[in-house]
Chain A
Amino acid sequence: MKRTRSIATGVATSITLALALAACGSADDGGSDDGAAGGTPEAADITLWLNGADTPEELRTYLVDTFAEENPGSTLTIEEQDWEDVVTKLTTALPDAQNTPDVVEIGNTQAATFTYAGAFAEISPELYEELGGDALLQSFVEAGAIDDTKYALPYYFGSRYMFYRADAWKKAGVEVPTTLAEFGDAVKELRTDKQSGFALGGQDWRNGISWVFANDGELAVKDGEEWTSTLSDPNTVKGLEQWQDVYATASNLPATHTDEAYWEYLNDPEDGGAPEGATIMAPSWARWSLGDLTKNDAGDEVRDGMADAKKFDIFALPGVDGGVAPVFAGGSNLAVSAKSQHPELAENLLRIIYSDDYQTMLAKNGLGPANTEFNSVMATDKFGETAVAAAEASKLTPAAPGWAAVEGAKVYEELFQKIAEGGDVTALAAEYDEKLTPMLNGQAG
């Protein structure tokens, strides 16, 4: 009996809760951003969700300590989420006023979906200026904004590098290219039956879209309120065809290969012989999977792709007319939950994160700082310089409400695989434009 009653109340409460949420959801869009003009907010414990192990321990401790210091009586709890599941957890927890985290980290390509859904509190123009304003990495700011209203700000970025076997390139007499076309020729020349000139997987659209961006192409554009997939745009088609040619002439990898574990192709095989690839394109952390095995001080076997420049080296993907090509930048954004019970404390936490000290710490730890003025802290060696050069030219995927859905359904993986298999780019572009446009707009309404 008792049990049956608790179900009834359970159901009833959830329904009332849903109604209550619905009611405040619509009322809440307007106000509550004119912030704390004076007085200290009530002391409380706030929660910050960070994803994966990207933010090093040292930085976390700094945040917790500094927050407690600057907000007497209040504390900060940091909870680590997994990248793979962050969308699931944010979808369930953010609308729940009782249990929502106060500040969350979110992948830059996922930010738009939650921003449009009303998951985040608005960041007032004053606060935006205070946190860095236009010095903040603008491509990331756009990912978390609706028109001019900001909701999610950049947290950090990671760059993509071209890692290459300097010894193999030298042996083949190929120079580091200065234009995108030269790059294509170089890796084509390096390709043999046993070795990919450029080890590139057919489904690897995250690297592949660099060719689209380099040719001034776009994946999608916003016209008024509507997003339109623009694969059929002549520039985009040109980029895709160029990529198709590079894949066909320089890579031995299957069309189904994703951007996973490229370093395996660049390292010397265990049983001797030549590596299977001469060049790869990968995020910065690939450095620690590349190179020859050595023992570190603790006696563990480790690798460092920057240890011997005669064997392993890097460059940034060159643009069509030289310079640096716009490549896709990984990274994440930060936002305050719209349902946070302590928005003022949450904003205080943002102030600490965007402080000079913390931005410097990010840069020193190899994380591209949100505030571009701190890029110089990073650019102290070739690895850092290349990162900054690539980041300054970097570009993001469209900040469309349905972007997370497109990624979730792996539509671009499919499209790039079909292109890699030699499909007709113009026809495929038209087919996928039709498929993508409604997805990009989500189910607005």
Chain B
Amino acid sequence: MTRTETSGIAIRRRRRPATPYVLLIPAVAVLLVGLGYPVYWQVITSLQEFGMMQQFGAPPAFVGLDNYARILADDRLVPVVVRSLAFCLVNAFLTVGIGLGLAMLMRSVLGWVRIVMQVVLLLAWATPMVAAVTVFRWLFDYRTGVVNWLLVQLGFDQADGFAWLAQPLTFFTVATFVIVWMSVPFVAMSIYAGLTQVSEEVLEAARLDGANGTQILWRILLPLVKPVLAIVLLLQIIWDLRVFAQIRLLQDGGAPISETNLLGNFIYELGIGSQDFSGAAAVSIFVLLLTVALSAPYVRSLMKEDAA
């Protein structure tokens, strides 16, 4: 027993070891059980006419790719896609940038300050999403919001009664605040966890060789956390492309819906909102393909690095 496993490690490129397959079984099983049928349903539904009538028992008709044609011809789709991409990229890079900054900062502050920072990040992380969005809506409320109040105190009189959620641009500014606020803790903690893996000896050796702080940062720390950074960024991009509930809750504060919808909201609006389940399924598949296509170059470079 021990012997086979040892050889599994020692000769890693040996042909067809059984162990990795055995190790994958539980994960694959849980994916098939939990997602198999829902994904299958999604694909089938996207090829059918499936609305409220069908949900309540009318036999759905097979319509081929009609739903896709209908969705792609819908003049709401392109603006939503463009908006989602822009929003996703801005948020992902902001989140990872700020998260990296905070992780670095945590390395270099006094011990108790680091604990304060960690606790604060955990508090933000622990806040239920609904509560977070509600609080931000209050903070940016045009009449009773602290932000406008502060701006007026600082002398920006035009901020008095400024409705942040009214225009798409300021709406997305607030949305960005919420999302960055909520996602940074995870990024900062992950990068920080990665940074703690950099052994003190390596840094010590570098210092002995006369490297200064900046050099240590760029030459040692960043390259070492690069894998974590790359994954975290990729995940943020994937997740920020799927932002949904935060936008929905902010829209309840009175934003122009059709000008602030992101892909997730568009799918929700079609499915639950308009009971056009086949249209929603088609958009879902479209989003999946789009994400795959967009992340392909990035994934390829990740894979290449991984293989090296």
| A residues at B contact (CB < 8 Å) | 3-4, 6-7, 10-11, 14, 21-22, 24-26, 28, 87-88, 91, 94-95, 113-114, 116-119, 201, 203, 254-258, 260, 264, 276, 338, 401-402, 404-405, 408-410, 413-414, 417, 439, 442-445
Instruction: Give every chain B residue within 8 A of A256 (Cβ-Cβ).
Output: 163, 165-166, 254-256
Residues 250-289 of B at the A interface (beta carbon under 8 Å): 251-258, 269, 272-276
- Assess whether A408 is in contact with B273, with CB atoms less than 8 Å apart: yes
Cβ–Cβ < 8 Å partners of A22 in chain B: 57-60
User: Contact string, B151-164, partner A, CB cutoff 8 A, digits 1/0?
Assistant: 00000000001010
- Of listed A21, A94, A114, A410, residue having the most chain B CB within 10 A: A410
Neighbouring A residues of B142 by C-beta, 8 Å: 254
Which residue from chain B places its CB closest to the CB of A94 in the assembled complex? B56
| Complex-state Cα separation, A408 to B29, whole angstroms | 37
Residues in B with CB closer than 8 Å to A118 are 53, 56-58
Complex CA gap A24/B264 in Å reads 34
A-B contact pairs, 23 of them (CB 8 A): A10-B33, A22-B60, A26-B58, A28-B57, A87-B272, A91-B55, A113-B275, A254-B166, A255-B166, A256-B163, A256-B165, A256-B166, A256-B256, A258-B252, A264-B143, A401-B52, A405-B273, A409-B257, A410-B251, A414-B256, A439-B274, A443-B275, A443-B276
Contact of B56 among A117, A439, A445 (CB under 8 A): A117
Inter-chain contact B58/A442, CB cutoff 8 Å: no
Q: How far is the CA of A3 from the CA of B36 in the complex (A)?
A: 12
Chain A residue with minimal CB distance to B273? A408
Instruction: List residues of chain B with CB within 8 A of the CB of A414.
Output: 256-258
* Chain B residues near A258 (CB-CB < 8 A): 252-254
| Contact status A3-B33, CB under 8 Å | yes
Task: Decide: A25 near B257, CB < 8 A? Known: A10-B37, A408-B272.
Answer: no
Residue numbers in A under 8 Å from B49 (CB-CB): 443, 445
Q: Within 8 Å CB of A203, what residues of B?
A: 254
CB proximity of B136 to chain A, nearest CB, Å: 16
Question: Is B211 interfacial (CB 8 A cutoff)?
Answer: no
B21 adjacent to chain A (CB < 8 Å): no
Q: How far apart are the CA atoms of A323 and B55 in the complex, in Å?
A: 45
Question: Nearest Cβ in chain B — how far from A259, in angstroms?
Answer: 10
**Per-residue A-contact encoding for B31-65, CB less than 8 Å = 1, 0 else:** 01100110010000000010111011111100000
Give complex CA distance A414, B57 in Å: 33
Is there contact, CB below 8 Å, between A7 and B56? no
Smallest distance from the beta carbon of B137 to chain A beta carbons, Å?
10
Whether A254 touches B275, Cβ cut-off 8 Å, given contacts A7-B32, A14-B37, A442-B51, is: no
Is A6 a contact partner of B274 (Cβ separation < 8 A)?
Answer: no
Q: By the criterion CB–CB under 8 Å, are A26 and B57 in contact?
A: yes
Q: Residues of A contacting B29 with CB < 8 Å?
A: 3-4
Q: What 13 new A-B contacts, CB under 8 Å, besides A11-B40, A258-B253?
A: A10-B33, A14-B37, A26-B58, A87-B272, A113-B275, A117-B52, A254-B161, A256-B166, A256-B255, A408-B274, A414-B256, A414-B257, A443-B51
- Cα distance A28–B57 in the bound complex, in angstroms: 10
Do residues A25 and B274 form an inter-chain contact, with CB atoms below 8 A?
no
Cα distance A3–B29 in the bound complex, in angstroms = 7
Residue of B with least CB distance to A24: B57
How far in angstroms is the closest Cβ of chain A from B150? 17
Of the candidates A94, A95, A254, the one having the most CB atoms from chain B within 10 angstroms of its own CB is A254
Please give the residue numbers on chain B whose beta carbons come within 8 Å of chain A beta carbons, in ascending order: 29, 32-33, 36-37, 40, 49, 51-53, 55-60, 142-144, 161, 163, 165-166, 251-258, 269, 272-276
Q: Return the 3 tightest CB-CB contacts between A and B, nearest first.
A: A25-B57, A408-B273, A405-B274
CA distance A7 to B163 in the complex (A): 51
Contacts of B57 in A (CB 8 A): 21-22, 24-26, 28, 95, 118
Which of chain A's residues have a CB closer than 8 A to the CB of B52?
A: 91, 113-114, 116-117, 401, 442-443
Whether A405 contacts B275 in the complex (CB less than 8 A), given A118-B56, A413-B257, comes out as: yes
Name the distance in Å between B45's Cβ and chain A's nearest Cβ: 11
Q: What separation, in Å, do the CA atoms of A6 and B49 have in the docked complex?
A: 29
Q: Which of A14, A117, A264, A404 contacts B53 (CB 8 A)?
A: A117
Tell me, rounded to whole Å, the shortest Cβ–Cβ distance linking A305 to chain B. 20
Chain A nearest CB: distance from B92 CB in Å?
A: 28
Contact A257 B254 (CB under 8 A): yes
Q: A376 to nearest B CB, angstroms?
A: 38
A444 to B53, CA, bound (A): 8
**Can you name the residue of chain A whose Cβ is closest to the Cβ of B275?**
A405
For residue B255, which residues in chain A have a CB less than 8 angstroms away from its CB? 256
- Cβ-neighbour of B55 out of A117, A255, A264, A401 (below 8 A): A117
* Residues in chain B near residue A417, CB distance under 8 A: 256
Nearest CB of B to A27, in Å: 10
Q: Please give, as numbers and ranges, the residues of chain B lying within 8 Å of A201 by CB-CB distance.
A: 254
The answer to whether B269 touches A408, judged by C-beta atoms less than 8 angstroms apart, is yes
CB pair A88–B272 under 8 Å, yes or no, is yes
> Knowing A4-B32, A410-B257 touch, does A91 contact B272 (C-beta < 8 A)?
yes
**Nearest-CB residue, chain A, relative to B40:** A11
| Cβ-neighbour of B269 out of A6, A24, A95, A409 (below 8 A) | A409
In the docked arrangement, what's the CA distance between A258 and B254, Å? Answer: 6
Q: Once the chains are docked, how many angstroms separate the CA of A424 from the CA of B71?
A: 30
CA distance A10 to B274 in the complex (A): 29
CB distance from A282 to the nearest CB of B (A): 16
Candidate in A6, A443, A444 with the most chain B CB atoms within 10 angstroms: A443
- Determine the distance from Cα of A405 to Cα of B57 in the docked complex, in whole angstroms: 19
Asked, given contacts A113-B275, A254-B163, whether A95 binds B55 with beta carbons under 8 Å apart, the answer is yes
Contacts of A4 in B (CB 8 A): 29, 32
Which residue among A14, A118, A256 has the maximum number of chain B CB atoms within 10 Å of its CB? A256
Chain A residues lying within 8 Å of B166, measured Cβ to Cβ, are 254-256
Taken together as a complex, chains A and B put the C-alpha atoms of A6 and B275 apart, in Å, by 30
How distant is the Cα of A359 from the Cα of B275 in the complex, in angstroms?
Answer: 34
The answer to whether A6 touches B257, judged by C-beta atoms less than 8 angstroms apart, is no
Measured between beta carbons, the chain A residues less than 8 angstroms from B163 are 254, 256-257
Nearest CB on B from A406, distance (A) = 8
CA distance A276 to B143 in the complex (A): 10
Whose C-beta in chain B lies nearest to the C-beta of A119? B56
- With a 10 A CB-CB cut-off, give which of A22, A87, A114, A117 has the most chain B CB atoms: A117
Q: Which residues of B contact A24 (CB under 8 A)?
A: 57
